[in-house]
Structure 1
Amino acid sequence: MAEITKQQEDQPMRFTLTHYRKAGTAHDAFMKWIVEVHLPKAIPLFKKHGITGYALFETPATFNDPLREKMAFLHPTWEVADYDCLIEYTLPSAQTIENVMTDPEWIEAVQDQEDWVDTSKALLSLGYHTQYLSEGKAINLPQ
């Protein structure tokens, strides 16, 4: 396992999760369910468990289809991801993931998830987020 640097040790962790909508569900309806139905139930739990950030990166076909066409020409070996969204959580520790997922309130908050999400395709990652360009200014680079 790679050694954790002091800079990383002082940072909160980032947990990402991709979601694909259930077959037969429109992208817009899926995103509406996440934002208007799921998140109002989930955010109180995130706060309860010390999650300090939640970002939803939406990837509609209206963006990805043209990108896929361009990349076929510019970089044909690259694939454009086909998930509907990527969710990024900012966590105090890796243990937070298990704490949330085993909380009975979380089970209630995701009770209708199988109606909307193809959970068999979820992709997860856990790590650190380090910004190197912010508002046009280079940061966190070695001196």
Structure 2
Amino acid sequence: MSGRSSLLIENYLRKAGFWHVATVSRGWKLDSKIISTLIERWRPETHTFHLPCEECTITLKDVQLQLGLPVDGSALTRSIQSADWGAICYNLLGVILDNIYGGRIEMDWLRYTFLEPGNDSTEVERIRYARAYILEMIGGYLMPDLS
């Protein structure tokens, strides 16, 4: 799923506001030296980069401009600990992961469970694949983690 998104789900990604995110990384190569330098200059106590010219930080507006994600709407301000994550997973994706840890879904499970839809796929299958694709984008390179 981490490759190019299928044209069959383009409309769903556009509707969710993730089409630009799905296309923005095409052709990019990560420079590990630049990333290492930025990590060394990050100060978690002030949430800023300490650069030779001055301090700087990344704002929500910066993220919106770079990724084309909408930032208007309700904000999430708390964690939901008592949710039935299996039911939520089934409602959104149509399958239940064997083990969900506090709402965390393994990225490998997403990749192996949701194969790219074919031309004969149903709308429900395309919607579920688009949701899995968005989850993989979020967990894969917007907020990278192992899950």
* Shorter-chain TM band: under 0.3
Q: Which has the higher strand share?
A: 1
TM-score (norm 2): 0.27
Q: Which has the higher helix share?
A: 2
TM-score (norm 1): 0.27
